Structures are given as C-alpha cells and as structure tokens.
Amino acid sequence: MTKTGAQVIWEVLAKEGVEIVFGYPGGAVLPTYDALLDSSIHHVRVRHEQGAAHMADGYARASGRVGVAMATSGPGATNLVTGIATAMMDSSPIVCITGQVNSGVIGTDAFQETDLTGVTLPITKHNYLVTSADELGPVLREAFYVARSGRPGPVLVDITKDAQNGKTEWVWDDRPVRLPGYQPDLRALPEEYQRAAELINNARCPVILAGQGVIMSGAMDILREFVDMTNIPVAETLLGIGGLPASHPLNLGMMGMHGEVWVNNAIQEADLLLAFGMRFDDRVTGTLSTYAPNAAKIHIDIDPSEINKVVRVDVGIVGDLRETLEILMPAIERGDRNGWVDHILEQKSEAAERDIVGQPEGGQLYAAHVINDLWKYTNGEALIVTDVGQHQMWTAQYYRPDKPRHLITSGGLGTMGFGLPASIGAKMACPDEEVWLIVGDGGFQMTASELATCRQEGVKVNIALINNGYLGMVRQWQEFFYDRRYAGTPNVNPDFVKLVEAHGLTGLRCTERGQAESLIQQARETEGTVLIEFQVVQEDNVYPMVPAGAKLNVMIRRPEPNPELASEV
C-alpha cells in the first residue's frame, strides 16, 4: 500500500503500542505533524523541547514502556539533548524523532540544519539518519527494539523532510527484529555460577547492593525470596530504591555520598558485596582505593562493559538479573547471619538519635520534616518524582516506597529541571496513580513553563516545592568547603503561588509544620495540578555526607542535638 513517510511514522508508532507522543512542531517536521491529524495517537504539545524529552523519560520510567519525543531540526532537536543524555545515563528507553532539512541540502548549512546524529552519537544507545521513505518502517522498528532490549536506552531517529514527504510501498511486518551485530551472548559459564554460590554460602558479613537493574529486569520478587532465604541485608542505590520494599526488615536504605551511616559502614565492613544491577557510580563508592577493602565482590549486570569497569570483581556474571538469580538460587544455602544484621541495626539505632525528624523544630519548617510528613499522609503509596538537589536526597532518605517505579529521579546526569516535565510524563503513563513532584526553587524555575502543559492536558500533579532561597546543594558545598562564600547560589524568586495561579492552577503556601497535614490533604482533594510552596529553613544541610575523595565511611554527620532542647520534644 502506498503511503507517505510521514504516515508510516505514525502507523509504526501505533503498532509499537505508542499511545502518547510529547513534542513541539517546526518546519522540518511539518509533514509528520500534518499526518498526525489522521492518527489515533495523542500528542502533547510541550512548551520547550527539553520538556518533551523529560516527559518521555518520566513516562518510560513509570510504565516500563518506551517513551517518545518529537521535535524539528536545528534548535528544536538540540533542545532535546539534555533529556537524551539524562535518559542515557539512567538507562531509560526513549525514542526521539526529529525532522531534518531536505537530503539535497545537508552539509550546506541550510536554515535550521544541525548534524544531530553527530551531536548525539555519545549520548544515545544508537541513532539513525533517514533520507528515504523506504527506510522509515524498518528503521523505526529497529529503534524501538534497540531502545527496549538489553540495557535500555535512548535512540534517536533523524528524518529528512523529503523522506517524510516521499512515497513508499509499506505494509507492517510483525516478524521479530533481527540485528546480527546486536546479539550479545549473555550466558555465563557454569563455573561462574558455582564460584558465586561458594562465595555467598561462605560469607559471614555480606551485603547486597541493589541497583535499578532489579526494577528493570522485574527481579523484585526473586530478590525478596533471595534475601529472605539468605538473611543478607540490602543497600540500595538512588535509582534502585523500590527494588525491595522499604518496609522489609533487611532493607537498610540508601548507600553512598548521602547514604545512611549504618549502610556505608556495613559496606566497608562486609566480607562480600553482591552488586545486583548497579554500576559502582562514584557517588556510591567514595574513593576507590579504600572501597570495601575486605570484601570479595560479585557483580551481575546485563551490560558486559560494566563488569570490572570501575571496581575489580571476583565473579562477574553478564545477564538479565532475574534470570541469573533464578539459575543461581538452587545452589544457595539458607543463611543465619543474625549477628551481622544485629550489628548493623545497632548502628542504625544509634544514628537515629541524630535524625532531624526526631529533633525539635524550634518553630521552623525543615525540608526533611515536610517530606517525612508527605510520606506519612500519603501512606507511602504515592508515585514520587523529584528534581535534583538537596530535596532529592531528603526524599531518598525520608520517602520510603514499598513499590518499584515509585521514585523517579535523575541519577547519573543529575539534571535540574527534570522534575516537572518527568512528573507530567509519569502521570500520563499511570493516570490512576497519585503523583507528587518534590522540587527545589532553583530546578523548578528551569522548566516551570510546563505548568502550561499541566493546564492544557488537565494533568493532576501535586507539587511540593521546597523553597530555601538557594541552590541548596551547591550552597551546602560552599558552606562546608568554601568558607560560606555563597557565589551565585542565592535565589531571587518569584511569588510561586501567583505564578501557579497565573497558569489557572492552584497555589498554596506552608510556613509552619502544623499546616502541612491540612495543605497536603487539600492538594490531594483539589482538581488539577496543585503546588504547595514550603518555605523551609534556608541553611539546613543533607546529612550524612561523604566528602569528595574520602572513604565511604568517613562522613560529615549532623551535629548531635542539644540535650536541653531535646528534652522539650
């Protein structure tokens, strides 16, 4: 059947199960937007192309499906770059479709021409330049296959205008996509499983390091079975939160630079680390030369390039985590490691004495209190999206989800401005979920224009804006390491309530902790997007903190409470 390339684009998307596309039109992609009117796919017109990429990313993380973003050539396409890099660092499956100038003028510096495949080569799993309508169907199918298979990631398809306008004989081919050069052998050798089982069975002080791979492989149930059988405690990476329910007695919490004291100590004292679907990011390890010095290390990851990339391991098994654990489980013995677990929990109990949630408020509103209250009043069941900064780390510490895909955040790239568009994408992926965005006053302003998208789409996102008047995490580093020389970090902010109301949405303000419960409940009950501005203590810090270049268990900790004030609590 004869179709235009533009028609093929929408038909392939529909066949791939795409229901929503986040995009922004422009000259080089106009043929595709014209064909959109004959498609059943819902298009969300964003206010900035960066928002489109983050919405597609949030959609993918919340649903496990491929998210799709669309933009025109030149500046439209380059505005996607930060969102593509964010997805690449966090292994998020998105497909970005961009218009390109006519193939005959490529290389002539035509109006709004940019070599986008060259620009995005380092930040995509794969990318394509399509110059013929005949190529479009097969290339788009490959793009979705590559994005979702193996270690997921972003794929870019750049399509010239003449390819969109061109005619082709096209019929959907539902045969499986086969790429001969993209068929890695993920089978581990039997002796690798045997060696791993021996190390696990003989370990007295082991710790599981659970990363996002637990969630992406669907290994939550078998991880829990493994933990219950072996009695091995679990530390989570930031993106691994939710892989094991937070309420599980062997879930220790988050590791790393702002991880819990007892977690980092346990890693440093362990005799075996089991790295499940994580990549030993520098924010997790501290200085490598002193990382877990007495521990043997087992690393299971679907990406062969991650094995021995950062940390040398004793056993490296390449494969899907769920399938690998299913093979490994029969060789694993039940473990009695109560003494080791009790040792860790004793440190947790001691650290609780410094926890800010248990300290007096002194009439002030602390961000950690706000997030702990949000967890309490939503019963820990909300789907949480964060931006990047201090609020992100407080959220990881104090909002404790029991479900996977219920904490969505930019980990590897640490992208400010991610939060609002990602929360829109997450809500549109999971319309029945209660979605809360926790965001700082700095990052919020980077993509605040997407409030208009909330209004346009009738999206219900509740926003907890943590306003401390600073770029808080940068200010914290300036306090600790630059003698409180606050260069470039104080914010001159708008009236956030009025800003939200100007978009036809609801704005609320909280200045005292006693107001939090009623305002949170009001936000939950109000139709449409609601923002609560929490005016919190300006110079509070995230504790603990591992300074750059320090051992993982050498942490700056919150000062001990004043006994006289503590007696008033």
Structure-block tokens of residue 5:
């390339």
Beta strands in 294-387 (DSSP E): 296-301, 315-318, 383-386
Over 60: is that where the pLDDT of 568 sits?
no
49 catalytically annotated: yes
Listed in sequence order, the residues at least 6 apart from 423 whose beta carbon sits closer than 8 Å to its beta carbon are 58, 385, 408, 435, 436, 437, 461, 463
161 catalytically annotated: yes
**In degrees rounded to 5, what are phi and psi of residue 438?**
-110, 120
- Which residue of the set 111, 183, 350, 512 is catalytic? 111
- Which residue of the set 55, 89, 393, 473 is catalytic? 473
The three-state DSSP-derived secondary structure of 432-476 is: CCCEEEEEEHHHHHHCHHHHHHHHHHCCCCEEEEEECCECHHHHH
- Which residue of the set 3, 161, 297, 460 is catalytic? 161
- Which residue of the set 112, 364, 456, 515 is catalytic? 112
| pLDDT single digits (tens) 409-468 | 999 999 999 999 999 999 999 999 999 999 999 999 999 999 999 999 999 999 999 999
Name which residue leads in pLDDT, 57 or 566: 57
| pLDDT single digits (tens) 114-134 | 999 999 999 999 999 999 999
**Domains along the chain with CATH numbers:** 2-169 (3.40.50.970), 190-349 (3.40.50.1220), 367-539 (3.40.50.970)
pLDDT of residue 184: 62
What secondary structure does DSSP assign to 59-116, as a single string? HHHHHSSPEEEEE-STHHHHTTHHHHHHHHHTT--EEEEEEE--GGGTTTT-TT---H
pLDDT of residue 241: 98
Band (pLDDT 50/70/90 cuts) for residue 377 is very high
Structure-block tokens of residue 101:
């100038």
pLDDT of residue 318: 94
The pTM (predicted TM-score) of the whole model is 0.96
| pLDDT single digits (tens) 83-111 | 999 999 999 999 999 999 999 999 999 99
Identify the weakest region by mean pLDDT among 143-147, 182-186, 306-310: 182-186
d(CA 197, CA 479): 47
- Which residue of the set 7, 16, 22, 49 is catalytic? 49
**In degrees rounded to 5, what are phi and psi of residue 265?**
-65, -40
Listed in sequence order, the residues at least 6 apart from 45 whose beta carbon sits closer than 8 Å to its beta carbon are 23, 24, 25, 453, 456
Over 70: is that where the pLDDT of 565 sits?
no
| pLDDT single digits (tens) 197-231 | 999 999 999 999 999 999 999 999 999 999 999 99
Considering the chain, what is the average pLDDT of its residues? 95
**In degrees rounded to 5, what are phi and psi of residue 70?**
-140, 140
473 catalytically annotated: yes
Structure-block tokens of residue 243:
């892989």
**43, 55 Cβ separation under 8 angstroms:** no
**479, 451 Cβ separation under 8 angstroms:** no
Per DSSP, helices labelled H in 109-260 are 116-120, 133-148, 161-165, 190-202, 212-216, 220-230
